[in-house]
Structure 1
Amino acid sequence: MDQYIDFSQPSLYIAAGSIIFNPTFWNTAARTEYHHKTLTKLAGGNALYGCYGLALTIFTLGLIRDALYERALRSQPTHPLLLTFLSQSLAAVLVICGNILVLSSMWALGITGTYLGDYFGILMDEMVTGFPFNVTDAPMYYGSTMSFLGTALWFGKPVGVVLTGLVFVVYKVALSFEDPFTAGIYAKREREEKAKGKRGL
């Protein structure tokens, strides 16, 4: 194991820390916003600007995480089985398909839909059911995981496969918190709209 993963490299732990930190940060920030309107207050009372600020922060943290991941890979040993034509072809397919899922998801949701606008009270009119959400219910998370794995295979780094496993677990945990909370936000809107409708009769 040690011949394919160098556990003495600090970059490995820095990359792992970044992978864990990012979804923890945006879930904490979003819930703080929902309960206390912290980011909206920092944006002068404008929820849209607050959401844009969070979006920029999340996007920047994502770029930093990706850079740390690639740096960790470059400092690690390679495995010959991950450098074959088959594995390199699979790497390209994973990165391409992963990016398609991520980018098409962002296109379908827009900035506020992608970057937790629901927590700012910026709700979508209706659920997006077209591509890529007809393929998977979490295209950004699964697409990102595919890109991590594809990058690991492209560089031929076993440690990248391990870190991709960490990405998958962290995203699954994040979804277990996000999905029911977001569903609760929309359920609350539906109850409020029904109550208004009854009052209007």
Structure 2
Amino acid sequence: MENIMPFVKSLDGLVDFSQKSLLISACAIAFNPLFWNIVARREYRTKFLTRLFGGHAQAACYALAFTIFSLGLLRDFLYERALRHQPSHPLLEGDLATMAGYALLACGNILVISSTWQLGITGTFLGDYFGILMDSMVTGFPFNITNAPMYYGSTMSFLGTALLYGKPAGILVTAEVLVVYLIAIQFENPFTAGIYAKRERERAAAGGKKKVEGKKEL
């Protein structure tokens, strides 16, 4: 805590930490990935959502997708509201900052939309945890640029919005977004890889069983 206080004091005048809207926005940003990881892992282990939807895994996945998407809209609304209550800075109000903001928003949305297009709804919104697995790994754009285009695209959009509003607080919140997503990646990627590795083991075991049965028939 003692190491953090000098940093906070250095932001005095740039960021108004007394505004509750900033804290609410920061909490929403941290909550969303925590929520979908907890829910998705519980679904994977217990199938509680699938059972809730009468055994229809795809319907359950779509319901979670709608929830995650709605929480994302709420998070974005809270972020923009928080920025309105924060002080601006002259260096972020020039034409260069505005152009950079629009460029970041454009690039960020391209990454998010193209990754959703490549993966589909179930691929984007944790269908793997529902047993809805893709046939093969997606390697085309934007996954040939980064393995987490949705997360990095979203981070770019947060930064672009901060520049358009001219708010240093937005840059600070964007840093939180990046940290939260980097942590999420560390938990999600190995878990998802384990799901697909399990499928490959099951396929290999099934293939071996068929070979044995074929030999017995001969």
Q: Which residue of 2 aligns with 1:23?
A: 33
User: Aligned partners of 2:170 and 2:70: how far apart in 1?
Assistant: 21
Q: Which residue of 2 aligns with 1:46?
A: 56
Q: What amino acid is aligned across from residue 198 of structure 2 in structure 1?
A: K
Secondary structure, aligned partner of 1:199: helix
After the TM superposition, which residues 1-201 of structure 1 pair with which residues of structure 2 at under 5 Å, given as runs? 1-201=11-211
- The runs of 4+ residues in structure 1 deviating greater than 3 Å are none
User: Aligned partners of 1:43 and 1:93: how far apart in 2?
Assistant: 42
Q: Which residue of 1 aligns with 2:6?
A: none
Write the deviation string for residues 141-162 of structure 1: whole angstroms up to 9, x where unpaired: 0000000000000000000000
User: Aligned partners of 1:169 and 1:7: how far apart in 2?
Assistant: 19
User: Aligned partners of 1:99 and 1:38: how far apart in 2?
Assistant: 33
**Which of the two has higher C-alpha Rg?**
2
Write the deviation string for residues 157-196 of structure 1: whole angstroms up to 9, x where unpaired: 0000000000000000000000000000000000000000
Aligned length: 201
TM (normalized to structure 1)?
0.99
CA RMSD of aligned residues (A): 0.5
User: Aligned partners of 1:199 and 1:41: how far apart in 2?
Assistant: 31
